[in-house]
Amino acid sequence: MSSHSSENTEELFIELFTQYERHIRAFVRSTGLDWAAVDDVVQTVSLVMWRKWDQFDPETEFMNWARVIARFEVLKFRRTMGRDRHVFHGDLMKLLADASEEGEEKVSSEQYLVCLQACLDQLPARSRELIRASYQGDKSIKEVAADLGKSATALYKALNRIRTQLQGCIEGRLNAS
pLDDT score recorded for residue 29: 83
Number of H helices, E strands in the chain: 8, 0
Higher per-residue pLDDT: 4 or 81: 81
Measuring CA to CA, how many Å separate 56 from each of 64, 71, 125?
11, 16, 45
pLDDT of 35 strictly over 90: no
Say which DSSP state 58 is in. T
Q: Which amino acid is at 144?
A: V
pLDDT (mean) for 140-165: 83
- 4/12 Cα distance (integer angstroms): 10
Say which DSSP state 88 is in. B
**Lowest mean pLDDT, pick from 10-14, 72-76, 138-142:** 138-142
Measuring CA to CA, how many Å separate 155 from each of 57, 99, 158, 160?
44, 21, 5, 8
pLDDT of 83 strictly over 50: no
159 CB neighbour count, 10 Å cutoff = 21
- 171/168 Cα distance (integer angstroms): 5
57 CB neighbour count, 10 Å cutoff = 8
pTM given for the model: 0.48
Task: Specify whether the CB–CB gap between 100 and 109 falls below 8 A.
Answer: yes
Higher per-residue pLDDT: 97 or 8: 8
pLDDT of 117 strictly over 60: yes
Residue closest to 25 by CA, chosen among 12, 11, 44, 9? 44
Sorting pLDDT into bands at 50, 70 and 90, what band is 2? very low
* Span 38-70, pLDDT tens digits: 888 999 999 999 999 988 888 888 988 999 999
pLDDT (mean) for 101-112: 56
Higher per-residue pLDDT: 88 or 157: 157
Task: Specify whether the CB–CB gap between 119 and 163 falls below 8 A.
Answer: no
Highest mean pLDDT among 43-52, 70-79, 137-146, 153-162: 43-52
Sorting pLDDT into bands at 50, 70 and 90, what band is 106? very low
Domains and CATH numbers, the chain: 1-87 (1.10.1740.10), 94-177 (1.10.10.10)
Sorting pLDDT into bands at 50, 70 and 90, what band is 150? confident
